[in-house]
Structure 1
């Protein structure tokens, strides 16, 4: 592990409300199911999609992975 290449990590960028919905719909999931995959509440996914809140931290990383590599990478 001492020679871990940071370049292999998936870059994380801010996610817009429309992007959250697009990622969820691309995954063919309801808000409730998508929320379980991300370990958040369905209300939180709804707030992200409406732009009331922004995903941060681990949730943002999981959204990025689901978008770039498919939902299967986080299930």
Structure 2
């Protein structure tokens, strides 16, 4: 509702474009948390190996293995890509 109000103010010329862009950025939800099981299930659903999944995400095969084992966690950028793949499928990154 607040975002709709800000959009209306912007359309009326009462909120400049830079401020509106900053407001839009603040309204973005944080990328979701991906557990090792969820990452493994996502890769399995995409029907690809760890090296192929890594290539699509532009990370190393070691990173995928570390995420799936729970040794490491994907960072915010990787979580955003994982979320995109989860919602839209692997083809969105092709």
| 1:47 paired residue number | 66
Which sections of structure 1, spanning at least 5 residues, go unmatched?
none
Structure (1 or 2) with the larger CA radius of gyration: 2
Residues 10 and 65, structure 1, Cα contact 8 Å, conserved in 2: no
| 1:63 paired residue number | 82
Q: What do the CA deviations read for 1:2-28 (whole angstroms, capped 9, x no partner)?
A: 46694xx67521100001011111111
Moved over 6 A (4+): none
Which sections of structure 2, spanning at least 5 residues, go unmatched?
1-16
The structure richer in helix per residue is: 2
TM-score by length of 1: 0.83
DSSP 3-state at the match of 1:66: helix
When the two structures are aligned, how many residues end up with a matched partner?
A: 74
- 1:73 and 2:92 correspond: yes
Q: CA RMSD in A?
A: 2.2
Q: Which structure carries more relative contact order (alpha carbon 8 Å, separation 6+)? A: 1
